[in-house]
C-alpha cells in the first residue's frame, strides 16, 4: 500500500521542478482539480517564497469555498494510561514508571459533566493500548457511560474514538456502540522509522497498524480519521504516504479518510525532542497543512492544542476545519485540572479555556460549530463526501453551525456574548442564497430561543 521506493523516487525526480511546473499545479489546485502524486511532491519540494505565498493563498481560498467560516470544536477525553507499548516518543510508554490508572464509570461521567459544562458536544476518547487493563469491553462501557451522561445543558452527541488498532469484531462492536469517527494515527508511514519508534508491544507490527482502517471499514465503520505524528520522519515522505493510503482506501472501499490530523511531536516524559532528527519547523508545519488542503480539499483537517494559539490562528486560515479546545491530555485531567495532578501524555501549548477560544474565533470572523448532525443523520462515509463535493456543505453545515452557536450563547454566554451571536446570525442569514433555507434557519433559531435544543 505504501511503496517506499515509489515515494523516494518521486521526491528525487521533483527536486528541480521548474517555475512553470509549479505555476501549472497551482492553477489546477485553484480550480480544485485532482493533483497527482508528482504534483504534490513538487509542492512539497518548493522552497520559493513566492510559490509558498501562492500555496497559502489558494489553500485559504479552498478552505473558504468548501468550509466557509465554520470551525468544529471538540475535546479529547483520556480514559486510561495503561499501556503495553514502548513508543519512544510517548509519555505513556510502558517503561515510564508512574502510577497508572483508568477512569471508573463514575469518574468518566464526572469528566463528561465538566466537559459539558464547558459547552462540548463532541469528544474524542483516548486510551493507551492494554488488552488486560483496557480491553474493548471497558471502552464500550465508557462510550455507553458518556452517551448516558446528562447535564443541565444537554449531553455529548458524538464520541469519536482514538484507540489502538484492533480486530474486525472489535471495530464492529465500536460501530454498534454508536461511535462517530474511528481515529488512528499511523505515527510514521516510513517502515524502518516505525520499527525504531515502536520497538515492542502490540503496536510494533507496522503492517497490522497500517491495515487497521481496512478492518475498521470491514467492521462497518465508514468514517475513519488518519494522521501522522510529524517529527518522526521526513514530512515530505509522510504527506505523500498519507495521500497513497487515502487513495488506496478510496479505490478499495469507495471512501477515504474523513479527517486527517496533523499532530506535531511535543516534549513528553522520558523523551527529549533533541533526539529526533526530523522535527518539523513552524514554516514547514504551515506548508504541510496548506498542501494537504490543496491535495484533499474535501477531507477535514484536525488541529489539537499541541500547537500554540498563534500557530492555530494561522493554520486555521490555511485549511484546518476542526480544533480541540480546553484540552487535558491526562487521565482524569478535567477534574484535576486545578492542581494538575494527572500525568499528561505530552505537553499542550494552547491552554486557553474553550470560552476564550470561541470568543477569539468569533472575533477573527469564524463560526465555531458544535454540530454533530451529519453523523446522526447517517451522512457518514461516501454519503458525507457526496454532500461535500456537491457544494451543499455550505447550505447544510452553515445553518447547523449557527444553530449550535445560538445554543452555546444561550447556555454558556452572558448577555453581551448573546448579542454578539445574534448580530452574527443576522449577518449570516442575509448571506444565505436559498430562501427556503433562510426561513428554516430563522424558524429554528427562534425555537432555540424558546428553549428547544438539538435542532438540525
Ligand atoms: N494508544 C492508541 C494508539 O496507539 O494509536 C491511541 C493513541 S494516543 C492516546 C494518541 C496519539 O498521541 C498517538 O497516536 C500519538 O500520535 C500522539 N502522541 C504520543 N506522544 C506524543 C508526543 N510526545 N507529542 C505529540 N503527540 C504524541
* 127 Cα nearest atom in ligand 1: 9
Retrieve residue 87's grid coordinates: 513508543
- Whether 162 lines ligand 1, by a CB cut-off of 6 Å, is yes
What pLDDT, on the 0 to 100 scale, is given for residue 392?
Answer: 72
What pLDDT, on the 0 to 100 scale, is given for residue 379?
Answer: 80
DSSP 74: E
- Whether 306 lines ligand 1, by a CB cut-off of 6 Å, is yes
| C-alpha of residue 174 to centroid of ligand 1, in Å | 20
ipTM for the predicted complex comes to 0.98
Pair 115, 353: CB distance under 8 Å: no
Selection from 240, 242, 228, 243 nearest residue 193 by Cα: 228
Identify each DSSP E strand in 331-374 by its residue range. 367-369
Find the mean pLDDT for residues 391-420. Answer: 90
Q: What residue owns the CA closest to ligand 1's atom 26?
A: 265
What pLDDT, on the 0 to 100 scale, is given for residue 100?
Answer: 96
What pLDDT, on the 0 to 100 scale, is given for residue 398?
Answer: 87
Find the mean pLDDT for residues 19-25. Answer: 95
Lowest mean pLDDT among 170-179, 392-401, 434-443: 392-401
pLDDT at 339 over 70: no
What pLDDT, on the 0 to 100 scale, is given for residue 281?
Answer: 98
What pLDDT, on the 0 to 100 scale, is given for residue 132?
Answer: 96
Q: What's the rounded Cα separation, in Å, for the pair 405 and 425?
A: 9
| C-alpha of residue 265 to centroid of ligand 1, in Å | 9
What pLDDT, on the 0 to 100 scale, is given for residue 341?
Answer: 57
Cell 486560515 belongs to 317
The preferred substitution site among 88, 185, 212 for testing ligand 1, maximizing ligand atoms within 8 Å of CB, is 185
What pLDDT, on the 0 to 100 scale, is given for residue 382?
Answer: 82
pLDDT at 256 over 70: yes
Residue 387: pLDDT band (50, 70, 90) is confident
Q: What residue owns the CA closest to ligand 1's atom 11?
A: 185
R_g (Cα) of the chain, nearest Å: 21
Predicted confidence (pLDDT) per residue in 39-95, tens digit: 999 999 999 999 999 999 999 999 999 888 999 999 999 999 999 999 999 999 999
Handedness of CA 214, 220, 222, 226 (dihedral sign): negative
* 267 Cα nearest atom in ligand 1: 23
Give the count of beta carbons closer than 10 Å to the beta carbon of residue 150: 13
Q: What residue owns the CA closest to ligand 1's atom 5?
A: 164
pLDDT at 388 over 80: no
Residue 153: pLDDT band (50, 70, 90) is confident
Identify each DSSP E strand in 102-179 by its residue range. 122-127, 150-151, 154-155, 158-162
Q: Which helix (H) or strand (E) holds 43?
A: helix 37-45
Helical segments of 301-340, H only: 309-318
pLDDT at 154 over 90: no
What pLDDT, on the 0 to 100 scale, is given for residue 49?
Answer: 96
What pLDDT, on the 0 to 100 scale, is given for residue 97?
Answer: 97
Q: pTM (2 decimals)? A: 0.96
Amino acid at each position: 500500500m505504501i511503496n517506499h521506493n515509489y515515494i523516494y523516487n518521486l521526491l528525487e525526480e521533483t527536486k528541480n521542478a521548474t517555475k512553470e511546473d509549479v505555476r501549472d499545479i497551482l492553477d489546477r489546485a485553484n480550480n480544485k482539480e485532482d493533483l497527482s502524486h508528482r504534483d504534490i511532491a513538487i509542492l512539497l519540494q518548493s522552497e520559493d517564497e513566492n510559490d509558498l505565498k501562492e500555496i497559502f493563498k489558494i489553500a485559504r481560498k479552498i478552505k473558504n469555498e468548501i468550509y466557509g467560516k465554520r470551525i468544529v470544536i471538540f475535546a479529547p477525553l483520556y480514559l486510561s494510561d495503561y499501556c503495553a507499548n514502548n513508543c519512544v516518543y510517548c509519555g505513556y510508554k510502558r517503561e515510564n514508571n508512574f502510577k497508572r490508572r483508568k477512569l471508573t464509570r463514575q469518574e468518566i461521567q464526572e469528566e463528561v459533566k465538566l466537559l459539558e459544562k464547558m459547552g462540548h458536544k463532541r469528544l474524542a476518547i483516548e486510551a493507551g493500548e492494554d488488552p488486560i487493563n483496557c480491553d474493548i469491553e471497558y471502552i464500550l462501557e465508557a462510550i455507553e457511560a458518556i452517551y448516558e451522561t446528562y447535564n443541565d445543558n444537554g449531553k455529548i452527541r458524538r464520541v469519536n474514538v482514538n484507540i489502538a488498532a484492533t480486530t474486525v469484531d472489535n471495530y464492529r462492536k465500536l460501530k454498534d456502540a454508536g461511535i462517530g469517527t474511528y481515529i488512528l494515527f499511523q505515527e510514521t508511514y516510513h517502515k524502518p522509522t516505525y520499527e525504531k519508534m515502536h520497538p515492542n508491544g502490540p503496536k510494533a507490527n507496522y503492517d497490522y497498524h497500517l491495515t487497521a482502517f481496512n478492518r475498521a471499514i470491514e467492521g462497518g465503520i465508514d468514517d475513519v480519521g488518519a494522521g501522522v505524528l510529524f517529527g518522526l520522519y521526513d514530512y515530505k515522505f509522510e504527506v505523500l504516504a498519507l495521500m497513497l493510503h487515502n487513495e488506496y482506501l478510496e479505490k478499495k472501499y469507495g471512501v477515504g479518510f474523513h479527517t486527517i490530523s496533523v499532530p506535531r511531536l511535543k516534549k513528553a516524559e522520558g523523551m527529549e525532542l533533541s533526539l529526533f532528527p526530523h522535527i518539523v519547523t513552524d514554516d514547514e508545519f504551515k506548508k504541510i497543512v496548506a498542501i494537504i488542503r490543496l491535495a484533499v480539499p474535501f477531507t477535514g483537517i484536525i488541529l489539537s492544542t499541541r500547537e500554540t494559539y498563534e500557530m492555530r490562528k494561522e493554520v486555521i486560515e490555511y485549511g484546518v476545519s476542526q480544533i480541540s479546545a480546553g484540552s487535558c491530555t491526562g487521565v482524569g485531567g478535567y477534574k484535576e485540572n486545578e492542581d494538575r495532578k494527572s500525568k499528561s501524555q505530552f505537553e499542550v501549548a494552547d491552554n486557553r479555556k474553550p470560552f476564550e477560544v470561541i470568543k477569539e474565533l468569533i472575533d477573527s470572523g469564524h463560526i465555531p460549530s458544535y454540530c454533530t448532525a451529519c453523523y446522526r443523520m447517517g451522512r457518514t462515509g461516501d454519503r458525507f463526501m457526496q454532500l461535500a463535493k456537491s457544494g451543499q456543505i455550505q447550505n447544510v453545515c452553515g445553518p447547523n453551525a449557527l444553530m449550535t452557536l445560538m445554543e452555546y450563547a444561550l447556555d454558556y454566554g452572558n448577555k453581551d456574548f448573546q448579542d454578539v451571536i445574534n448580530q452574527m446570525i443576522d449577518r449570516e442569514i442575509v448571506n444565505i442564497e436559498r430562501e427556503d433555507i433562510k426561513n428554516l434557519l430563522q424558524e429554528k433559531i427562534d425555537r432555540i430561543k424558546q428553549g428547544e435544543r438539538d435542532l438540525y
